[in-house]
Amino acid sequence: MKFYSISILAVAIMITASCASDNAPLYKDSSAPVEKRVEDLLGRMTLEEKVGQMNQFVGLEHIRKNEALLSEEDLKNNTANAFYPGFSADSVAEWTRKGLVGSFLHVLTLEEANYLQSLAMQSRLAIPVIFGIDAIHGNANAPDNTVYPTNIGLASSFDLDLAYRIARETAAEMRAMNMHWTFNPNVEVARDPRWGRVGETFGEDPYLVSLMGAETVRGYQGDLSSDDVLACIKHFVGGSQPINGTNGSPTDLSERTIREVFFPPFEKGVEAGAMSLMTAHNELNGIPCHSNEWLMEDVLRGEWGFKGFVVSDWMDIEHIYDLHATAENLKEAFYQSIMAGMDMHMHGVYWNEYVCELVREGRIPESRIDMSVRRILEMKFRLGLFEQPYADEETTMDVRLCEEHRQTALEAARKSIVLLKNDGLLPLNPQKYRRVLVTGINADDHNILGDWSADQKPENVTTVLEGLRQVSPETDFVFVDQGWDPRNMSASAVSRAAEAARSCDLNIVVAGEYMYRGRWTERTSGEDTDRSDIDLVGLQNDLIRKVAASGKPTLLILISGRPLGTEWAAEHLPAILNAWEPGMYGGQAIAEILYGKVNPSAKLAVTIPRSAGQIQMVYNHKPSQYFHPYAVTPSTPLYPFGFGLSYTRYEYSDLRTDRTEIPADGSVKVSVDVKNVGDMAGEEIVQLYIRDRFSQVTRPVKELKDFARISLEPGETKTVEFTVTPDKLRFLDKDLKPVVEPGEFILMAGPSSDDRDLLKTGIYVK
C-alpha cells in the first residue's frame, strides 16, 4: 500500500503554508476559541458539505475486499462487511477529495488512514475526517495492537482504576494509528445470556455497568485534546434484553424498567462527559430507536443535557424503511431519523443526495442540519484534527504493543478470570501431575482474543497450551487437537482424547464458544451470533464426560463471551475456571492461576443460569419471581452474580453502622471486618447490597450499591467502610419520580450476592 503515502507530504506542506498565511481564515487559527472556529467554518460551508459531514463510509480497502467476496444479496443481512453496489472505492475517494465525507470506519491501517486524510486535506475547506473504530478491548480490531480482556472479564475484576487505565492506553494506541473515535463503551445491561454480545458489556448490574462505563469514558476522552479519543456510549437502548435473545429483535419494556435498569449507565456516561452516543438496532415499545425522539431529544438532550453528537448503528436508519417499515421509503427514513435527533449516519451512498433534497424541499430546516454539523465539527476541533490530521508512521510502534501496555493486558487477564469451582485440586502441584492432557477447541487457538479482534501475530498471543508450557516447563503436556469449530468436532478426535486421558495424571479441557470474526458465519458467540440455548455446542460435553471417565482428575476451562450452563461439569468435575475472553496474554494468566503463581480474585459480573429455561435469571429480581419454584429442576442459578473463589479463605464479621436512623437526606457509614483466614495472600472483592424492606412499588430483593477491592496477607484483618448516601436509597415512586421513602432498609455485605454469603443489618429512614 505504498501508494497511500505519495501525496501526504505535499499536502502537509500545502496546509502548513496556508496556515502560515496572514489571510488564513479564523477556523484555521488554533489559538481562537473552538466555538468561534466552528461558527466561522460553518458559515463557509455549502449545504452539500454540511450534509457530507453527517455521513460516514467504510474504508477503501474494506470496499475493495468485499466487493470481490460479497453479492448485493449478501449485504442485506450483513452487519460486518460492506461495499456500495454501483459505486467503487474510487468514487468514495473522490467524494472525500471534494469534502463530502465526514467520517470513516473499518479503516484498519495507519497507512490507509493517513491516505484518506490526505484526500480530505485536498478539499475546498480542508476539513479532516474523523476515523471511528470498534476498539472494544484495546484497539484489537486492527492488527498489531494490545488486546486486553473483553468488557465482561474487565467487569469481573471490579477494578475501576484498571478500566480507566486500559481506556487511556487504548486511546494512545488509537491516536498512534490516526484513529480518533472508539465505538465503546457498550453500557447496555446484559439480561439475556442467549444474546451474543454479553461479552461486550459490563454485565447485568446497572450500578457496576455505570461505574465501569463512566471510568472508561474518562479514560478515553481525558480533556478531549490531541492525546485523546472520543468515547461512544452505546446502544441506546434496551437491545440487551431482546424478546427472543437475538440482536436487534424487538424490545418491549415498561418505562419503569427502562428508567431503573437500562437508563442509569447511559446517564452516568453523559455525566462522565461522553461526547458521542450510538442508538440501538432494535425497536423499543414499537418505535425504532433510530427514529425515537423521546430517547434522543426528550431524555438524552432534554433530561440529561447531552452535548455531544448521536451516531446511527450500521445501516439502521435504512432499517426504519426496509425492516421496521415505519417509513415508506429511504428518504422518509432519513427524514424521521434526523428530525428525531440523529446527527451522523453510519453508513451509505444515498444520504447526501436525499438529505440535501429534504432541505431544499423545506421539510428539514437547514438550521437543523447546522445543529448536527456544529456538534461534529466541535469534536474535530477539540481533538486537534485540524492541527494534527496525520499520525507518524515511523513512531507508531513506539506506542502500540509497548511493554507498559502488555503488562496491563496481563494484569487485566489475571484479574478477570473467575474460579467457579475447586474441590482441592487447585493450585496444581507439578510434582504430582507430571503428565497432563490438554484438549478442547480453545486449548491452542487465537480465539482466546475474543470478539472484535483482528488477526494478531503469533508472538503477540499466548494460547492456553503455550501458557501451560511456559509456566510449568517441567510438565509433559500431551495435546490432542479438537480443531477450532465446535459445530464440526470429530468423534474420532474426542476418542483420541479419551484414550490419552487414561495415560495421563490430569486432564485439562478448554471448551467454550467460538468468536473469531475472520470466520463470521461459523461463530457461536459475538455480535449477531445469538443462540437459543446456553449449553456447550457440538461434542464438547461428550469430550468432557469421556475424558473425565478416565478416572483421572479433570478440570474445565471456559473461553466464552457469554455465560454457559455447564451443569454436568459443575456437578462432576473437581475444578472449573471461567476465563471469559482474556485477550493476548490469556493463556499465561490461566496457567499462572492453575499453578498458583496468581491467586484468583475475579467475581462474576453476570449470573450464570443452569439452562436457557431459567432465563431471565438475574440476581436483582423482584420478590415474587420465585414465589412458585420450578418443578423438577432447581430455581437457583448455577453460579450467582458476584461469585468467585480464591485459593485462600476470607471471613466476614461485625457488620455495623454508625447510626441506626437517618433523615431522608442523610447518610450512614457501614463497616464490615474481613479477615484472610487462609495461608495465601490474596485480593477480595467486598460487596454491599441494599433492599428497601417495604415500599409503595415493588423493589428488587437486593441491589449492589458499593464494592471495594482489598488485598490481605494471611491472618490479616481489614475493616472495609462504605458510605450509604441518599442516591443509594432512592427509587422511582408510582409516578416515576425519584424518592427516598421513610422506613426500614436492609444492608447486606459479603463475597457474593448469594443470601448464604451475606451478613445483614438494618437502618431506618425517618
Q: Identify the structural domains of the chain with CATH numbers, from first to last.
A: 34-398 (3.20.20.300), 417-614 (3.40.50.1700), 650-765 (2.60.40.10)
pLDDT above 70 (res 45)? yes
Mean pLDDT, residues 147-168 taken together: 98
- What's the pLDDT score for residue 80? 85
Q: How far is CA 623 from CA 192, 471, 634, 690, in A?
A: 19, 47, 17, 14
- What's the pLDDT score for residue 74? 84
Q: How far apart are CA 146 and CA 164, in angstroms?
A: 15
Mean pLDDT, residues 525-553 taken together: 98
Residue-wise pLDDT tens digits, 118-140: 999 999 999 999 999 999 999 99
Residue-wise pLDDT tens digits, 687-699: 999 999 999 999 9
Mean pLDDT, residues 289-310 taken together: 98
Please state the pTM of the whole predicted model. Answer: 0.96
Residue 202 contacts residue 641 (beta carbons within 8 Å): no
- What's the pLDDT score for residue 72? 87
Mean pLDDT, residues 607-626 taken together: 97
What 8-state DSSP symbol labels residue 630? P
- What's the pLDDT score for residue 49? 98
pLDDT above 70 (res 12)? no
Residue 108: what are its φ and ψ, rounded to 5°?
-115, 5
Q: How far apart are CA 221 and CA 244, in angstroms?
A: 35
Return the sign of the alpha-carbon dihedral for residues 354, 239, 584, 533.
Answer: negative
What 8-state DSSP symbol labels residue 186? B
What residues form DSSP beta bridges with 720? 672
- What's the pLDDT score for residue 22? 59
Q: How far apart are CA 357 and CA 595, in angstroms?
A: 66
Name the amino acid, one letter, at 142. A
Length of the chain measured in residues: 766
Name the amino acid, one letter, at 80. A
Mean pLDDT, residues 725-749 taken together: 97
Closest C-alpha among 342, 356, 392 to residue 5: 392
Show the beta-strand stretches assigned E in 98-151: 103-105, 130-133
Residue-wise pLDDT tens digits, 159-191: 999 999 999 999 999 999 999 999 999 999 999
pLDDT above 90 (res 255)? yes
Mean pLDDT, residues 542-554 taken together: 98
- What's the pLDDT score for residue 658? 97
Q: Which spans in 198-343 are helix H?
A: 206-221, 255-257, 263-271, 293, 316-322, 330-340
Take residue 422 and report the three cell numbers written for it: 475447586
- What's the pLDDT score for residue 490? 97
Q: What's the chain's average pLDDT? A: 96
Take residue 543 and report the three cell numbers written for it: 469430550
Longest Cα pair distance anywhere in the chain, in angstroms? 84
- What's the pLDDT score for residue 17? 41
pLDDT above 80 (res 375)? yes
What residues form DSSP beta bridges with 692? 745
Residue-wise pLDDT tens digits, 332-362: 999 999 999 999 999 999 999 999 999 999 9
Closest C-alpha among 29, 25, 19, 112 to residue 65: 112
Q: Which spans in 341-402 are helix H?
A: 351-360, 366-382, 396-399
pLDDT above 80 (res 5)? no
- What's the pLDDT score for residue 79? 82
